[in-house]
Amino acid sequence: MFNGLGMNLGNLSRLSKAKTRSISAENFTGEKGKGGMATEGTGAQAARDLGQGWKVSPSVIIQKNTVFTMADIQDSGAIQHIWLTCFPTHWRSLIIRMYWDGEEQPSVQVPIGDFFCSGWCERANLNSLPVAVNPAGGMNCYWEMPFRKSAKITVENIGNEDAVLYYQVDYTLTEVPEDMAYFHAHWNRSNPLEYKEVHTIVDHIKGQGHYVGTYLAWQVNNTGWWGEGEIKFYMDGDKEFPTICGTGTEDYFGGAWNWEQPKGEYCTYSTPYLGMHQLIKPDGLYRSQQRFGMYRWHVMDPIRFEEELKVTIQALGWRSEGRYLPLKDDISSVAFWYQTEPHIPHPAIPGKDELEVI
């Protein structure tokens, strides 16, 4: 594209009339020439000998049970990068929402940790193209998010404590082609998954678009291998049987044979498009269950749908006599996709007790 939206090495030298802007606690509106002007903020005490322009407002404090507007853009263009960091204890109690072109219902509604593939509220590095999590808890998102009239990002603190948030939203102001769709993300949890039921990743997508990614935070509640379950994509009128059916959980995330390497050990990995980047082991005391974090980005192989899409995954282990065992695990997921508007409203985010990692 040469209109100032996404670029790659093939067109990096191409000139554009697009404008680059950035919103942070040092420039809440992203206006040209308005950065670093604060005289009050979370860094004011540290900058008392230096004054204005010396990191006076590097972050914000989001009070408990309040909503903070992180970005409010009135123009056309695209968000190109989001960086933020906050303490892991807030990753499930801060809810990020994104609204395009003045819509009342958010297109994105996800706990902040899960949005950045960190659903277990524990730091783990991740090295992929659309999402990167770097030491020690620097969260980066490169999903392109176009808008034609406006874009608004909010963060709701549903916790019982105030939260400190550092953030930066980098975006471009430019015309958006007619064939560009809007970014969406949805969170869901089965805790525990009911016996012989499947975990639903998403089932309310209506419209034309393409599915671009899955994140799973998976707690295993049985002994033995747990990843025999298949992921299934039901699209455009599919009923009992899907159009796309995977062969196993680790297979969908690009691995094989239980991720066992070397023998007797799980092997974590993080690649540009897929990975099992997080393994939390029991400690022999209070941490009794194994927990995993996995991502699969359909960047090179988007799953396109014309009218509707539903995505599910099975939880299957093994029992005696070589039989599958339906599992009752704790599974949280985030679905990422692009589609035309309007969209079906997301189900409401549950309360903090239902979100809590326990």
Question: For residue range 33-64, what is the model confidence (pLDDT) as tens digits?
Answer: 999 999 999 999 999 999 999 999 999 999 99
Q: Are residues 150 and 86 in the same domain?
A: yes
DSSP, collapsed to helix, strand or coil, labels residue 152 as strand
Residue 89 sits in the same domain as residue 167: yes
Shared-domain flag, residues 150 and 218: no
3-state SS string for 132-149 = EEECCCEEEECCCEEECC
Q: 5, 38, 25, 161: which is closest to 83 by C-alpha?
A: 25
3-state SS assignment for residue 183: strand
- Opening angle at CA 144, ends 143 and 147, nearest 5: 135
Element holding 93 (H helix, E strand):
none
The DSSP secondary-structure symbol of 113 reads H
Asked whether residue 355 is domain-assigned, the answer is no
For 302: left if phi > 0, alpha if psi spans -120 to 50, otherwise beta; the answer is: beta
Q: Is the pLDDT of residue 126 over 60?
A: yes
Q: What pLDDT is recorded for position 6?
A: 79
- Is the pLDDT at 15 greater than 80? The verdict is yes
**202 and 274 within one domain:** yes
| Identity at 10, one-letter amino acid code | G
236 and 335, same domain (yes or no): yes
Question: Are both 99 and 211 inside the same structural domain?
Answer: no
Residue 344 counted as domain residue: no
**Residue at 10 is within a domain:** yes
| Shared-domain flag, residues 163 and 252 | no
Q: How far apart (Å, rounded) are the C-alpha atoms in residues 334 and 52?
A: 41
Residue reference for tokens 């603190």: 157
pLDDT at residue 3 in the model: 66
Judgement on whether residues 125 and 239 belong to the same structural domain of the protein = no
User: Is residue 2 predicted with pLDDT exceeding 50?
Assistant: no
- 210-234 pLDDT per residue, tens: 999 999 999 999 999 999 999 999 9
Domain count, the chain: 2
User: Is 99 in the same domain as 227?
Assistant: no
CATH code of the domain containing 193: 2.60.120.1390
Q: Which of 123, 144, 179 is the last residue of a domain?
A: 179
Residues 190 and 313 both lie in one domain: yes
Q: Which residue range is the domain that position 98 belongs to?
A: 1-179
233: in domain: yes
In a domain, 58, yes or no: yes
Q: Which residues touch 178 (CB under 8 Å, ≥6 apart)? A: none
Tell me the average pLDDT across 332-356.
97
Which domain-ending residue is among 151, 179, 207?
179
Are residues 151 and 284 located together in one domain of the fold? no
Distance CA 139, CA 133 (A): 5
Per the domain annotation, does 351 fall within a domain?
no
Element counts in the chain: helices (H) and strands (E) = 3, 25
Q: Classify residue 357: in a domain, yes or no.
A: no
The answer to whether residues 138 and 85 touch, using CB atoms and an 8 Å cutoff, is yes
Q: What is the pLDDT of residues 161-171, one digit of tens each?
A: 999 999 999 99
Say if CB 311 and CB 214 are below 8 A apart: yes
Do the strands 126-127 and 131-134 form a parallel or antiparallel pair, or are they unpaired? Answer: antiparallel
Measured CA to CA, the distance from residue 231 to residue 246 in angstroms comes to 5
pLDDT of residue 1 exceeding 70, the answer is: no
Average pLDDT, the chain: 97
